[in-house]
Structures are given as structure tokens and as C-alpha cells.
Amino acid sequence: MNLTIENILLVGSLLLFVSIIVGKTSYKFGVPTLLLFLAIGMLAGSEGIIGIHFDDPQTAQFIGIVALNFILFSGGLDTNWSSVKPILREGIVLSTLGVLLTAISLGIFVWFVTDFTIYESMLLGSIVSSTDAAAVFSILRSKGLTLKTNLRPTLELETGSNDPTAYVLTIAFLTLVINKDLSVISIIPLFFQQMIFGAIAGFGFGRLSKFIINSIKLDYEGLYPVLVIALMFITFSATDFIGGNGFLAIYICAVYLGNQDLIHKKTIFKMYDGLAWLMQIVLFLTLGLLVFPSQVFPYMGIGLLISLFLIVVARPVSVFLSLIFFKMRLRRRFYISWVGLRGAVPIVFATYPLLAGIEKAHMIFNIVFFISVTSVLIQGTTLPLVAKWLNVALPEKIKPFSDIESIISNIPKSTLQEIEILPDFFAVNKRIVDLSFPKSAFIVMIKRNGEYIRPGGSTVIEAKDTLMVLGDDQKVFTKVNDSLDKKFHPQKS
């Protein structure tokens, strides 16, 4: 079946609908949702039931890059800086040195067990060297798994920021495979250029994006998420244009924005959460369509061998060596080692050798696909079980204070207060985004003239407004009063 303009929307919407319905029930059987999306794509592909012919790595790569932009940006927005800051060094080391060590150790193993050249082996190792944030956190969230201490922020930072390192390594070793006269030393400047330019551009575009979002006055609230999408793609493409790493730039930009006061921040977050899921489904469906099962089967033996080495040896060795100078309990290091899922990102990176037309491109792609599937199957289905074995999971009854909307109806009255705004309050005629409102408190509703309105960052506080404020504890309300009525509650120096 060939896709045409007439049936592409019908087929696409049906595949999307089936993916959502199947994903809703998949965890009753312990199967990771994203793997189901991939399987549906394969069933709809050239050798599947529907027989959609799709053999276009360039289109798949384009869809993959667009999808990764949304997934990485959404992950950055969700990253809480106060949670990440204590483990910043560990996360950065894992996402850089850890990825490099994984690529090298796996590459050397592939060189020994196959007829690949050393550069081709390192290319394969680089492609599968990063963990997949989409795969990791879709599984953690679906299982409702809550981890002890700083484990989750560590994994969040690593999985969200290690794709750029894997991307640079992939491009670097692909260059060496194509240009056999070049040496490894020649790619070192490229690595530092990509990472340094990407980091600087990400922070710079983050500050610029905040200024634009809070300064521009749009007539419709729904346009603000559209504005953020435009800023996201500008950040990625402009960084890539100047020779930096676009993936790193958009992640840093998103982390910065996610921890700032923005107009209509809640609307932007909700939209990106939905778009991230949409992009994950579309990405896995597309990659499923691109795969020909008959071409994967011949490499199952070598693929399984490489995958087991990656899971049991390469990943743990890289984690333990990366964290050797940090204080961390042994069982936590083991769990970080186990949470090394490979998902759609390596498959997207595997399209680069295909487009470059190198000799073993199809073999690399099929092995990478098999590694990603086995990783999600073996590690993804056992994350909760291993967490309990290693005693790094919190009991089910203990949950963090995170999703306000889902628990607001059961919240204790001590953490939900009504505050009346008097005419002489500091907050009168000021936007919410301009107040020094504590990050652990939220204005969930404003009662004005007998009516209730839902506040946003651009909402102007008026005299005689009654604010319904949600806070973590009683202490935060002192800070709330300070920000609303500084004249009577001066800030302590």
C-alpha cells in the first residue's frame, strides 16, 4: 500500500488512535508503551498487515529531528533546577564522560566480534551510547515508580542531556568512516566546538526567549505556545548554523525557561506535554514503518550479543568509572547502570550512515534497531522490580508533591488559603509575572466581582481580588504575603 494525499490522513489518524488505545492497556501485560508504538508501525509497514511501503531514511530522519526537538524541549521545561542543582556535576559527567566511555567500550567489543573496522565499530558504539529520555520516563511515569533521594533528578538530567554528546560522537566517527585519511585527533576540535557553542547559544536564547515571551503582548492566550515553538526551532537551527549542537542548545534553553516566571506558563507546559507524547508516538510509528523485519532477523544473533554486552558490561562500567569520585551508595550506582534504556534516538542516529551511503550502513541500522528493542524489553520491563531489589524505590503510599491539579480536591486546608487584596497592597495593578512570587506557591484561582477567573502570568491583580493560593506548607505563605504586600511585610535582608 502506497501512501497518497487522499489516504495519508486517514491511515495516520487510525494508526495514532490505535497506538493510544493499545498504549492505555499495554502495561496490564507489562509491555512498555513505546515498544507497542514501534510494533504497530512495523505491522503497518511494507512487510506487515497493512503493507504501507515506506523506505525513505531522509524523511524518517527529518521527522526524527523534529520530534527530538519537542521531546528534548519538553524534558527541559519539566526539569526542576532546585532538584537538579545538588546533582549537577554527577549528571553532567554521566551525560558526557559516561556516554564517551560507553561508546568506546562497546566500539572495542564490536571490533573484536565483527568484521567492522575500528571506526565503523566506534560509529556503532556512538549511535547507541546515549540513554533515551522518552523511553525512561514514559516507563517510570506509567509504572508510578517513585525513587529515593536524588536518583530521579540524576536520571532526569542524564537522559535529557546525553543525546547531544552521542550526536557529536556519531557525526565525528561517521566523518572518519567516510574520510579514512583523517585521524581521531582531527575530530576533537569539532567535539568542543559543538558542545561549547551549543551551551552558550542555549543559555543566550533562553534569556532572549524569556524577554520576548514576557514582553510581547499577544491578543490570544493560545498564541503563546505557538510563539515558544517558533523560538524553539530558531534556537535549534541558529545554533546548528553557527556550528554548535542544536540539541544541547534547545535543552539548556528549555531548562532555563522552565525555571523562570513566564506569561501563561501553565498553558505552555500543558501544550508541550501533549506534543511530546504526540511526537513520541509519531517517531516510533515512523521508525516502525522504516524497518523491514526480514532484514533485521539475520542480525539477531550478533545484535543480541552486542546488546547484552551493552547492558551488562559497557553501561555499568561507564557509570561506575564516571561516578568514581562522587559519594553515592553502591546500589544507586547499580540502578543508574540498569536505567540505560535505548529507544528511538539511536534508531534516528542510525539513519545518518544510511544517508551517507557507507558500506555497512544497513547492517548498522538493523543491529541498532535490535539493540533498542531488546533494551526496552529487558530493562524497561524490569525497572520497578530492580528498584525494589536494590531498595531505591519509595513505598507506593509515599508520593512527591508534584501534580497539583490531580490532588487539589484532597489537599489539606492548611496549604490552601484565600488572600484578599486590599487597595493599598503592593500587588495592585501589577502582573503576576512581575511579582516575586515563591516558586513553591501557586495562584490557582482569582475571585473578582463574584466571578472566578483562571490566572496566567499576564493577569493583572486588582484591588478587592480574592486569591486562592496553594502552597507546600504554612511557611511559604509568609513569603506570599511579602510579595503581595511588601509595605507591611518587608523582605528580610
Please report the pLDDT score of residue 252 as a whole number: 93
Please report the pLDDT score of residue 261 as a whole number: 85
Whether the Cβ atoms of residue 461 and residue 421 lie closer than 8 Å to each other: yes
Please report the pLDDT score of residue 4 as a whole number: 62
Residues 6+ apart with CB under 8 A from 220: none
Residue 18 domain-assigned (yes or no)? yes
Alpha helices, DSSP H only, in 326-416?
Answer: 330-338, 344-349, 351-356, 361-378, 383-389, 404-407
| Partners of 452 in the β-ladder | 447
36, amino acid identity: L
Most confident listed range (127-131, 307-311, 353-357, 445-449): 307-311
Q: How confident is the model at residue 363 (pLDDT cuts 50, 70, 90)?
A: very high
Least trusted range by pLDDT, from 267-271, 421-425, 488-492: 488-492
Whether the Cβ atoms of residue 76 and residue 160 lie closer than 8 Å to each other: yes
Is the pLDDT score of 345 beyond 90? no
For residue range 36-58, what is the model confidence (pLDDT) as tens digits? 788 888 888 777 777 777 788 88
What would the mean pLDDT of 330-344 be, rounded to a whole number?
Answer: 88
What are the phi and psi torsion angles at 100 (to 5°)? -65, -45
Q: Are residues 378 and 426 in the same domain?
A: no
Please report the pLDDT score of residue 411 as a whole number: 45
Residue 490 domain-assigned (yes or no)? no
**Cα separations in angstroms, 206 against 131, 178, 210, 227, 235:** 25, 36, 6, 13, 9
Residue 1 domain-assigned (yes or no)? no
In angstroms, the CA 445 to CA 440 distance is 16
Least trusted range by pLDDT, from 260-264, 367-371, 407-411, 413-417: 407-411
More confident residue, 24 or 173: 173
More confident residue, 330 or 30: 330
Domain region containing 185: 8-389
Residue 491 domain-assigned (yes or no)? no
Give the position of cell 513566564.
Answer: 262
Q: Are residues 267 and 367 in the same domain?
A: yes
Please report the pLDDT score of residue 313 as a whole number: 95
Please report the pLDDT score of residue 309 as a whole number: 96
Residues in the chain, how many? Answer: 493
How crowded is residue 189: how many other Cβ atoms within 10 Å of its Cβ?
9
Q: How confident is the model at residue 179 (pLDDT cuts 50, 70, 90)?
A: confident
Reading the block at residue 57, the C-alpha cell is 531514511
Residues 6+ apart with CB under 8 A from 355: 57, 58, 61
More confident residue, 125 or 390: 125
CATH number at residue 109: 1.20.1530.20
How many domains in the chain?
2
Residue 2 domain-assigned (yes or no)? no
More confident residue, 307 or 2: 307
The model's pTM = 0.76
Least trusted range by pLDDT, from 94-103, 334-343, 396-405: 396-405
Q: Are residues 177 and 273 in the same domain?
A: yes
CATH number at residue 434: 3.30.70.1450
Q: Are residues 188 and 51 in the same domain?
A: yes
Please report the pLDDT score of residue 340 as a whole number: 84
Q: How confident is the model at residue 455 (pLDDT cuts 50, 70, 90)?
A: confident
Q: Are residues 38 and 124 in the same domain?
A: yes
Is the pLDDT score of 331 beyond 50? yes
Q: Are residues 336 and 245 in the same domain?
A: yes
Average pLDDT, the chain: 83
